[in-house]
Chain A
Amino acid sequence: MSKISKDTPTSRRAFLRGAAAAGVGAVAAGGARSATPDPLITEVQPWASGLGEGVDATPYGLPIEFESDVIRRNVEWLTADTISSINFTPIHALDGTITPQGCAFERHHSGAIELRKEDYRLMINGMVGQPLVFTYADLERFPRENHVYFCECAANTGMEWAGAQLNGAQFTHGMIHNMEYTGVPLRTLLEEAGYDTAGKWVYFEGADASSNGRSIPMEKALDDVLVAFKANGEALRKEHGYPVRLVVPGWEGNMWVKWLRRIEVMDRPVESREETSKYTDTLADGTSRKWTWEMDAKSVVTSPSPQAPIAHGPGPLVITGLAWSGRGAITRVDVSKDGGKSWETARLAKPGEKMALSRFYLDTDWNGEEMLLQSRAMDETGYVQPTKAQLREVRGLNSIYHNNCIQTWWVKANGEAENVEVS
């Protein structure tokens, strides 16, 4: 009878949903059958009878209250205060690749300032034929482009150098976001000012008190750097540099100067605070690498993970995560369930795009036994994401920045997961 065959899977799904909401590990494998009819189905629910909110109840909407735990979080002890600080994107709870602006991580050096478009000025000076000043409205008159890029803080995963420390993908890998930017190619503005070909560097500063000055080689500046004013279709949020920020594809987030106010063409780098005392990577012998701009290929399983445990029993399981490379497109992601003894190639949701997040899935059948979950990204240069041991062998424990190691989640039989290191 078609009636039974239709009913059974429906109630089973509802049952699984209920179990997921109730918590971890309550459900036995497959084929669970409801003993009594589900009142969510058999009884008329208020939402099926009464009325919902009218339009305009929320002129600009936030996620529904049931998603209120999908938020940025900070780790208080990392910094002296929250003004010169960082928080983390809830990557464990997101899917796809585009990061909503409202939960995209923030990193400020002197707080998120409020700068009106009307008060915005952008100066280009230095080795140019004509130093120029642009208003915000001026920028919107140049031909503009759209590109999706990830922005990763150089310190993402930085707390994990010495050992597994923070329990959650949000905290170990959440200093990253991925947005579709609208902006003017920097090259256009440099050409407008008539840059001098003897100028090998371009220095960028923000309008905030920190200024966060960074020097970028002219070659990169002319290549793909954007002066952006929209993200995911709308104005940048103040925490991401409203009204205008720099977008430096594939390079460390600190160079993506927010509240961009000045561009200076130079014949050498400034050696500013952010490119000497910070964002330099100290090796085991005490010497430090500088100008480590590119973000190497990296990936992480976002679910299951400590904040996203398996809430159902054995059976079909979607293992998913993110992969990215500052040196090009992701070409492949492998997943290991046994701590790196053996690997399976995961499915990319779509072909990798240069300097943008890729979403991978491994649709698998979980036998209910514990797993040591890892993911390993490869990019178009042939680079393979290294293990933590490999990184430590070259760099020691004190690099702080650029930790792109393979992450291990220990998924236990009850579905909970923990951040671990393996031999």
Chain B
Amino acid sequence: MSKFPKLVLMAALAMATVPVWAETYGIGRPALPEEIAAWDLDVHPDGTGLPPGSGSVEDGEALFADYCAICHGDFAEGVDNWPKLAGGDGTLADEDPLKTVGSYWPYLSTTWDYVHRSMPFGNAQTLTDDEVYAIVAYILYSNYLVDEDFVLSNESFAEIELPNADGFIIDDRAATEYAQWTGEPCMSDCKENVEITMRALVLDVTPEETKARKVKQLVNATNPRNATAQDKVAVVVEAPAEDEPAAEEATAELAMPDPEMVAAGEKLFKKCKACHQVGDGAKNRSGPQLNGIVGRAAGAVEDFKYSKPLKAKAEEGLVWDAEALSAFLAKPKTYIKGTKMSFAGFKKEGDLEAIIAYLSTFPD
């Protein structure tokens, strides 16, 4: 896992080639081998930097369902606007290329490194090396690049060449563009006629969610490349907010939580934000919206696709009171085995109380 052999080699090289030892300031301290090993995780296309380990497509499928499918789909096909990891073979020259690990990424090392370092989204660096191998194996499988009995390891890694490995050229703008776009430009009578050939029909691009949604529909509809544009304009823009008196009542019923706890909970909620929304206009993302979650029956948000184990709990009558939420949020995967929620749990004392206090401030 560590790169000590490389470092030793570099030290030897350094002596051989006479390093650039300018005058130094003597600031900083030597990095310890353990520290370098902890942070120097990058993996090169030839596999340099890969730790020993292995994982099968079969294991990867289960792990992918647990950790990745909520955004990337069960078959790596992507949910909503989240990245699609599979498919798109042969589409790069099309009008609408689909760029996935299979169709676009040149090196498998990049997939391994990124999953290892940055995934799952919101819970990075929690997967074991073997789990990373397994998930990457499954991504290969979902792109039809390996068979179902394939096992990816630091040794079998070298066998894999991604289809688009040769699909890249080094920046050639200097040769293909700069010469023709250099020199004294035309100042008058540069063209005979000027006509408007295209208009941005999107007339009110505002940051408001509903309008942004409308814009998206309009853009989809007006983009010349969307052949089926007509249907899309008809989609109705978000309904107005729920009737407010009811919401106020609900607020009144709740005992006021400790403001400090609420503030602490708000900070903690950052860990949840990747998947959950609260407050006005909260919508389901990769997790359900959480308005009114405290005291609500489990699995009750409409239009959200809950995991089977959670649905089962809901049918048994689980209610998210403070006690149940505490138990769940302390160890999600223990409390509901098979939950889609890829969160390891709050570990620090007081965190559970704070997050629940914060959530309780959002009525249904």
Contacts and interface: CB of A to CB of B under 8 A. Distances in A.
A164 B223 CA distance: 9
A83 interface: yes
A74 interface: yes
Interface residues of A, number: 105
B27 A192 contact: yes
B182 A141 contact: no
B20 A398 contact: no
Contacts of B209: 76
Nearest to B38: A123
Interface stretch (B109-117, B134-142, B346-354): B109-117
A80 interface: yes
Interface string B17-60: 11111111101111100011001101111000000000000000
B123 to A, nearest CB: 8
A92 to B, nearest CB: 12
Contact of A421 (B93, B181, B196): B196
Interface string A99-124: 00000000001110000000000011
Contacts of B186: 343
A418 B43 CA distance: 47
A8 interface: no
Nearest to B43: A270
A165 interface: yes
A77 B82 CA distance: 11
A276 B31 contact: no
A271 B45 contact: yes
Contacts of A398: 95, 97
- Chain B interface size, as a band, is 35 or more
Given A131-B36, A211-B118, A422-B195, A77 B216 contact: yes
Given A164-B199, A420-B196, A132 B30 contact: yes
Q: Is the interface of A mostly helix, strand, loop or mixed?
A: loop
Contacts of A213: 42, 113
Given A83-B273, A277-B104, A423-B195, A271 B44 contact: yes
B168 A194 contact: no
A413 to B, nearest CB: 15
B171 A420 contact: no
A198 B106 CA distance: 26
B198 interface: yes
Contacts of B167: 286-288
Nearest to B217: A77
A386 B180 CA distance: 9
Nearest to B21: A194
A343 B186 CA distance: 8
B10 A126 contact: yes
B215 A420 contact: no
Contacts of B193: 423
Interface string B160-177: 000000011111110011
Contact of A77 (B40, B182, B195, B212): B212
A194 B20 contact: yes
Most chain A C-beta atoms within 10 Å of own C-beta, residue among B101, B171, B206, B273: B171
Q: Which of B19, B81, B107, B197 has the most CB of A within 10 A?
A: B19
Interface of A: 71, 73-77, 79-81, 83-84, 109-111, 123-134, 138, 141-142, 162-168, 171, 188, 190-198, 203, 205, 209-211, 213, 261-262, 264, 268, 270-273, 276-277, 280, 282, 284-294, 296, 306, 334, 338-343, 372, 376, 378, 381-386, 390, 394, 397-398, 410, 418-423
